[in-house]
Amino acid sequence: MDIVDRIKKLKDEKKAIILAHNYQCPEVQDIADFIGDSLGLSIQASKTDASVIVFCGVYFMAETAKILSPQKTVLIPDKNAGCPMADMITAKELQGLKKDYPKAKVLCYVNTPAEVKAECDICCTSANAIKIVNGPLRDEKEIIFAPDKYLTHYVSAQTGRTFVYRHGYCPTHVRILAKDISEKKKLYPNAEVIVHPECTPEVIKLADKVLSTEGMCKYAKSSNAKELIVGTETGLIYRLRKESPDKLFYPATEEATCPNMKLVTLEKILWALEDMKHEVVIEDNLRQKARLAVDRMIQSSRVD
């Protein structure tokens, strides 16, 4: 039996599903029951009847799945798959900011550890950040927005609002340079440029559209453009090509590869199911506090 068959057999035996983030390697995406962004996958995790969720992504994503599905066993195939951006703010640092700005509401990117989510009022993703700022936070005078300074910059430019912010960033998205986009535009003059809001303002300035990963997948299907230059982690290109085979996708740069996302392999998925490891555990009080912020985001996104 090859490794894929062994994983499928174990999945059935353990009543498990495999969720894979858009940035995972092609072979991991191919074996997944669902592919998507971090929040979409966590919502999927909460809806499934499966009792075991193998989350192929980075740690904060598996944690978010556990926050929403406490009764399920959530496994992450490689416990070292962290997100450097998520670790650019700690609960202690956020507590300090809250003391400095006692009247401020706290908006946290979903790319944060559970301890940080527990300290914030509401979460957001790159897809709904503008909606949240214009929606539930529209009357707030002061907002702390953490940890991604580039997402904050983009949301500020789109909404005209100012934020108290952190200097966090995604080490993978900052590898996409304005000169990469300019060079690709010269090579493919008919291509549209789509980039992620975690990119720098210089890159965003050169884009036709600024979109989350799910937004990019939807846009690629509906757009008339036959060629697209894609400014995000390179793993998304595989899904884009699969879903829109009639179009051509060019990564803005091959350098935009997240080493943490690539830690998950088929072997590690197999071992996770064989040994039921590495289980994500969150202390209940902390989980309930973090859940409030995640639930507020989900509700606000639905209402709008």
Q: Kindly tell me which of 175 and 247 has the beta carbon lying closer to ligand SF4.
A: 175
Q: Rule CB under 6 A: which of 164-183 touch ligand SF4? A: 170-173
Of the candidate spans 115-123, 199-207, 208-216, 258-266, the one that interacts with ligand SF4 by CB under 6 A turns out to be 258-266
Residues 259-298 that bind ligand SF4 (CB under 6 A): 260-261
- What is the separation, in whole angstroms, between the first and last Cα of the chain? 48
Tell me how far, at minimum, the Cβ of 252 lies from ligand SF4, in Å: 14
Q: How many CB atoms lie within 10 A of CB 126?
A: 26
Q: Which amino acid is at 110?
A: V
Would you say 84 or 135 has its CB closer to ligand SF4?
Answer: 84
Confirm or reject binding of residue 56 to ligand SF4 (CB under 6 A): no
Q: Report the candidate in 77, 260, 82 with the shortest Cα–Cα distance to residue 172.
A: 260
CA–CA distance, 4 with 28 (Å, rounded to integer): 10
Stretch that binds ligand SF4, among 2-10, 175-183, 253-261, 294-302 (CB under 6 A): 253-261
Q: How far is the CB of 232 from ligand SF4 (least distance, A)?
A: 8
Site for ligand SF4 in 183-202 (CB under 6 A): none
Residues 11-50 that bind ligand SF4 (CB under 6 A): 23
Stretch that binds ligand SF4, among 27-35, 44-52, 81-89, 185-193 (CB under 6 A): 81-89
Which of these, 301, 156, 136, 89, lies nearest to 214 by C-alpha position?
301
ω before 278 within 30° of 0 (cis)? yes
Q: Which helix (H) or strand (E) holds 181?
A: helix 178-187
Q: How far is the CB of 21 from ligand SF4 (least distance, A)?
A: 8
Q: How far is the CB of 88 from ligand SF4 (least distance, A)?
A: 10
By CB under 6 A, tell whether 58 contacts ligand SF4: yes
Provide the sign of the torsion angle of the four alpha carbons 81, 111, 218, 220, taken in this order. Answer: negative
The answer to the question of residue 258 lying near ligand SF4 (CB under 6 A) is yes
| Tokens coding 71 | 């009764």
Cβ contacts of residue 268 below 8 Å, gap of 6+? 77, 78
Quote the CA–CA distance of 17 and 11 in Å, as a whole number. Answer: 7
Exactly one of 64, 111, 112, 128 binds ligand SF4 (CB under 6 A); which one? 111
Q: Which of residues 208-237 bind ligand SF4 (CB under 6 A)?
A: 233
Environment class of 304 (CB within 10 Å of its CB; exposed 0-12, middle 13-18, buried 19+): exposed
Choice between 216 and 261, CB closer to ligand SF4: 261
Which parts of 126-155 interact with ligand SF4 (CB under 6 A)? none
Nearer to ligand SF4, 136 or 197 (CB): 197
The residue among 213, 192, 195, 216 whose CA lies nearest residue 204 is 195
Contact 17, 34 (CB under 8 A): yes
Q: Kindly tell me which residue out of 10, 30, 84, 159 binds ligand SF4, with binding defined by CB under 6 A.
A: 84
User: Hey, is 267 helix, strand or coil?
Assistant: helix
| Sites of contact with ligand SF4 (CB under 6 A) | 23, 58, 83-85, 111, 170-173, 233, 258, 260-261
